[in-house]
Structure 1
Amino acid sequence: MNLELTKAEEKVMKILWSIDKGLIRDVVKEYEEPKPAYTTVATIIKILEKKGFVGRKPIANSFEYYPLIERKQYTNGYMRSFVKNYFSNSFKNLVSELSSQEDLTTEEMEELITYFKNKIDDKKKK
């Protein structure tokens, strides 16, 4: 499955993840002003169906749409693709780039170190 979404597709998925399921009008209702046209959202949902991200079931004279992929699954796939395409498939290169940014505070770097130490300890216990 291609895990890359356009910004518009990603917006619809974020809405569906937050509401779990809904009609097109329910998705449109969740947008901030100016809201997109109903037909625009319908087109995006149709594309997401073809990509395998969204399923549907008939409800009266319409369809109820729901995510077929979990947010975490999408995020993991997106991050792996991002690291592969921009950091030579190396998380070390990503962290190195982030840590070299001048706006990263010492406290944030210490939080990262603590986070990774805890992850290492968890993996060693398995």
Structure 2
Amino acid sequence: MKINHLTSAEENLMKLFWKLENFYLKDVMEQHPEPKPHQNTVSTYLKILVEKGYLSTEKEGRIFKYSVIVPFEEYKKFLLKELSQQFFNNSGKEILEFLFNENLISQKDLQSYFDLKIEMKPVKTKEPKLEYAEEILNPKKDKKGKDKKKKKKKSEN
């Protein structure tokens, strides 16, 4: 799914739409904080967002029901990747350094995050083969002695 850029006005409306998920124009007008935009303005933005692939429509009688197509998490990923490519050379390290320098994240935040994400699992190890110890503790019988006994038994038969 290709995600298109949004203007700040479109993004502000989408924040409301992500909360509503499925809605009618009247729902938007009721839920929009003051100062409320004109209904024609909202209707125009709804058409634009349908064209950009963020919303879908379903006609119910004379009105349209709108549904969000692009989830908020996907939009956040899109924005972060764009930001990373344009300003941080696609480097997560540079992003982290920036966040630290701007005091937007602390070392304690990262430690608590990694403490939650990292599980220590015991590693299964194979017991070492102690070949030399086995030879010393359980010496093999001389094969030559066995061969001689077999030859004697054959010659007796």
| TM-score, with length taken from structure 1 | 0.83
45-54 or 110-119, which moves further after superposition?
110-119
Report the counterpart of residue 62 of structure 2 in structure 1: 61
Distance in structure 2 (CA, Å) of the matches to 1:4 and 1:112 = 30
Letter in 1 for 2:66: Y
Letter in 2 for 1:43: T
The CA RMSD over aligned residues, in Å, is: 2.0
- SS where residue 2 of structure 1 aligns? coil
Assess if the C-alpha contact under 8 Å between 1:3 and 1:74 holds in 2: no
- SS where residue 46 of structure 1 aligns? helix
**How many residue pairs get matched?**
119
Q: Which has the higher contact order (CA 8 A, sep 6+)?
A: 1
Question: CA distance change for structure 1 residues 73 and 38 in 2, over 3 Å: closer, same or farther?
Answer: same
Letter in 2 for 1:33: E
Larger Rg: 2
Identity %: 30
Letter in 2 for 1:94: I
Distance in structure 2 (CA, Å) of the matches to 1:58 and 1:104 = 45
Letter in 2 for 1:4: H
In the TM superposition, what whole-angstrom CA distance separates every residue of 1:92-113 from its partner, at most 9, and x where no partner exists? 1111011112x457xx321123
Question: CA distance change for structure 1 residues 70 and 83 in 2, over 3 Å: closer, same or farther?
Answer: same
Distance in structure 1 (CA, Å) of the matches to 2:29 and 2:88 = 36
Assess if the C-alpha contact under 8 Å between 1:55 and 1:65 holds in 2: yes
Letter in 1 for 2:81: R
| TM-score, with length taken from structure 2 | 0.68
Give the unaligned 5+ runs of structure 2.
122-157
Report the CA distance between 1:116 and its aligned residue. 3.9
